[in-house]
Amino acid sequence: MIKTILWDVDGTLLDFLAAEEAAIRACFAQFGLGDCSGEQIARYSAINQRYWHRLENGEITKPQVLVGRFEEFFAREGIDPALAVPFNQAYQVRLGDTVRFMDRSDALISRLRGRVRQYAVTNGTRVAQERKLEKSGLGKLFDGVFISELVGAEKPSPAFFDYVLDRIGPVDKSEVLIVGDSLTSDMRGGLQAGIPCCWYNPKSLPCPGGMELDYIIHDLNQVEDILSHK
C-alpha cells in the first residue's frame, strides 16, 4: 500500500516546455536579441536535454549545465557566448513566471492531501523551483520539497534518494512511490533506490527493454487508481 509519493515537478506536475519557451522569449527581449523563433527554441531545447542527460550520468556538474547549454546555443546562433552567464541568471527567474498544470495536477495534489504524504523531488534550480512552487500554490500543498541544489546531489544518484528517504523516514520503501516523466532521472533513480516507480508517459512512448517499471500512466489522475490497490 502506497503511503508516500515523491513527485517530480518539471514535465510531470508542471508543463516545463511552456515555461521554457516563455522564459527564453522574455530573456531574448530583455537582452535585446530580437524575436526568438520556434525553430531556435527547438534547437535550444535539444541542447538543454543533452546537457541534463550528461548531468544525470555524472559527466558534468550543474553549473556546467546551466551555462554550457547557453554558450553552445549562442555560438550556434551567432550570439555572443559571453552572454550565457547573465542570460541564465535572468532565465532562472523567468522560468517561474509561467505556470501550466499537467492534467490538473493542482487539483490532484489537493485531493490526495491527508490520504498520503507528498513530497516534491526536483533537479531544477532553487531560484526557479521555489518561484514555481510558490506561484503555482503547490508548495503549500506538499509535506516537503527536496531541491537537488540544496540536497547536494542530483537525481538519479543514490545520494539524492538516500537523503530524501532519510529525511522523510523511517519508511518502508515498498510504500514509497516516485512519479515522474524522466526515465533517466526519476525512474532510474527510483529503481536504484529500491522504491516503486511510476512513469508518467503522456505521449505513450515505448518503454526501453530491460527497465522494469511498476506502473506506466498516461494521465496523472491514474495515480489515484494505483493508490486504490491494496
The residues annotated with a catalytic role in the active site are 8
Q: Which residues pair with 178 in a beta bridge?
A: 6, 197
What are the cell numbers at 83? 552572454
Among candidates 4, 2, 12, 57, which has minimal Cα distance to 165? 4
Determine the Cα–Cα distance for residues 96 and 105; give it in Å rounded to an integer: 17
Provide the CB-side half-sphere exposure for 16 (13 A, CA).
Answer: 18
Which DSSP state fits 217?
E
What are the cell numbers at 66? 546551466
Residue recorded with cell 503547490: 138
Amino acid at 96: G
The secondary element (H helix, E strand) that includes residue 150 is: helix 148-151
Amino acid at 93: V
Determine the Cα–Cα distance for residues 178 and 190; give it in Å rounded to an integer: 6
Determine the Cα–Cα distance for residues 198 and 191; give it in Å rounded to an integer: 10
Among candidates 214, 211, 219, 207, which has minimal Cα distance to 229? 214
